[in-house]
Structure 1
C-alpha cells in the first residue's frame, strides 16, 4: 500500500510536523478500514474513484461534516499524488474530484476591551499558575502564534535582550516575532516562578504545568476558554480566535497585509486575507463617520 513510505515522505522530505503527519495517517486508515470492509481488500493504492465516492457517501450518511470530509479526501489525494510521483500508479483516482461545498463560518475576533478585561483580571495574581496563564494570553495576543507553536516554545527561543521570540512553524519554518515590553516583563517574572516547579529538572520547554512537565494543547485551550468566557459572550473562545484577534487588530490599526502575513507564518497572502473583513468593517465605520456626504 506504500502508506509507510508516504508517511516517511511527509516527515523527512516535506518536513511536516508529527502532529500533521498523524492526522494524515488517521485519515488514510479511515479509508483503509472502509475499503477492506466493503471490498475485502487492503491495498488502497489499487482503489478507483467509484469506491472512494462510496466512502465519501458513507461519511455523509454518518453525519461527518463536509469540512472534515474534505480534509480526509485531501489526505487521500496527497497519498495518490505521492504514488504518482514515485511511479507506483500512472494516474490518480481523485484527479477530477471536486471538494464538497462548505459554508464559510465568520470567525469573530475578541475586541480590544475583551482582551484588556482578561489581562487586567490576571494582573494581580503572583503565583506560578496566574503568571503562567497571563503569559499564555499575552504571547497569543502579542505574537499571533499558533497553539502548537506556543506549546513547543523553548526557553532558548526567547531573546529577552532583543525583545523577540523565535517560532518554529509549519514545515519547521522559523520566524522571528517582536515582543512587547510588557510581555518581556511577564516572561521574566514567570521564569523566576518557574524554578519553583522544576527544581532540578532540565525541561527545555518554556511553558509548564504545575507539576513541572511540558504544557499540552488541550490545557492551553481550556485556559483561554475559561478566562475569555468571563469576559466575552462570543460563541467561540479559543486560542485561534485570539490569534485571529491579533491579526485583525493590527490590520484595523493600519498594518501592512504582507507584514501580518509574515508575523502569522502564512505561506501565502490568501491565508491572511481571511482576516481583512474586519478591517473593511472598520474602514466602513470610519468612512461613515468621516465622509462629508454622510454629514448632510
Structure 2
C-alpha cells in the first residue's frame, strides 16, 4: 500500500521523528475520510486538484486556522511527490497550489527579570517533583533544547564531569550542549532524589514522573505554564518560549549568531534569525542612548 510505503520512507530515509510521522499519517487519513464522505472515493492516490480545493474549503469552514490547513496540505503535497518518485503518479495535483495567507506569529520571550523571579524567588517544593520541575525550567532556559529533546534525554547522555549533554535533535541529528555550573548542581540534586522513587519503570530516561514513567509533553507544558503564570502576564507561557528566551538573551549579550545556531541544533542560519528581532530592539536602545547624535 502506497501510504505504508510513504510512512516507511519518512522514517527510514528522511529520519523524521515519531511525532512528525504521526502528524503526516493523521493528515493523510483525514483527507481520505473527506474523500470517502464527499466523493465516495476510496483511493487518494490519483485525485484531481478540485477535490483538494473542496477539502481546503471544508477545513476553512470548520474553523481550523490557515496555518494548520497549510500544514495538512503540505503533508498531502509531500505524499504526491513521493508517489511521483516511485513512478505511481505522473503529475502532482498540488504542484501549483499556493498556501493560504497566515499572520506572522509574534513570540515574546521572558525577560531576564521574569527568569530571575522564577528561578530565584519562587519556592519550589523540597521533594522529587519540586527539584525536577526546577531542573526542567533551568535546563530549558540554559541549554535551549526542545521539549521533545528534554523528554527523550537519556541518563547515559548526561556527562556531569565533562559538563555536557548529548542531545538527539530533529532527524536524529546529535549535538553536544554545554551545561552551566548551576545546571550541573541541580542535576546532581535531582539524580540523588530520583533514586528515592519506589519504582522506576523508564530508567533509561532522565526526567520521570512520581510513578517512575518518562515525563510527557502535556506535563512539561503544565510545569512551565504553572510556574511562569505566577510571575508573568504574557499570554503564551510554554517550553518553546523558554527556547526562544534562551536564544534571545544570548544574542542580547553579544553571542555570535552561528554559535547560537549550533546550540539550538538548527540546520541553517535562517531558522536562527527569527530570534534576532528582540536583539535588534536592544541594539536600537543602546544606539539611541549612547550615540552623540541621538541627543540632537
Decide: shared fold, TM above 0.5: yes
- Partner residue of 1:68? 68
Change in 2 beyond 3 A, CA 1:293/1:60: same
- Does the CA-based 8 Å contact 1:122-1:130 persist in structure 2? no
Distance in 1, matches of 2:202 and 2:61, equals 50
The offset of 1:124, in angstroms, is 5.8
Distance in 2 of aligned mates of 1:20 and 1:148: 11
Unaligned runs of 5+ in 2: none
Counterpart CA distance in 2 for 1:202 and 1:223 is 20
Deviation digits for residues 85-110 of structure 1, max 9, x if unmatched? 11110110010011111000210000
After superposition, residues 141-152 of structure 1 pair within 5 angstroms as: 141-152=141-152
Deviation at 1:221, TM superposition (A): 0.1
Mapped partners of 2:227, 2:130: distance in 1: 11
On the 8 A contact 2:160/2:184 being kept in 1, the answer is: yes
Q: Distance in 1 between matches of 2:239 and 2:198?
A: 26
Equivalent residue number for residue 87 of structure 2: 87
**What SS does the corresponding residue of 2:276 show, helix, strand or coil?**
helix
What's the TM-score, normalizing by structure 1?
0.97
Query: Structure 1 residues 124, 27: closer, same or farther in 2, change over 3 A?
Result: closer
Cα drift, residue 200 of structure 1: 6.4
Distance 2:193 2:226 in 1: 22
Structure 1 contact 122–134 (Cα < 8 Å) conserved: no
Partner of 1:166: 166
Equivalent runs, 1:154-233 vs 2, <5 Å: 154-199=154-199, 203-233=203-233
Post-superposition offset of 1:120: 1.1
SS in structure 2 at match of 1:288: helix
Distance 1:202 1:268, change over 3 A: closer
List 4+ stretches of structure 1 deviating above 2 A: 121-126, 198-202
**Greater per-residue helix proportion:** 1
Structure 1: gaps of 5 or more residues: none
Residue aligning to 2:58:
58
- Superposed displacement of residue 295, structure 1: 2.3
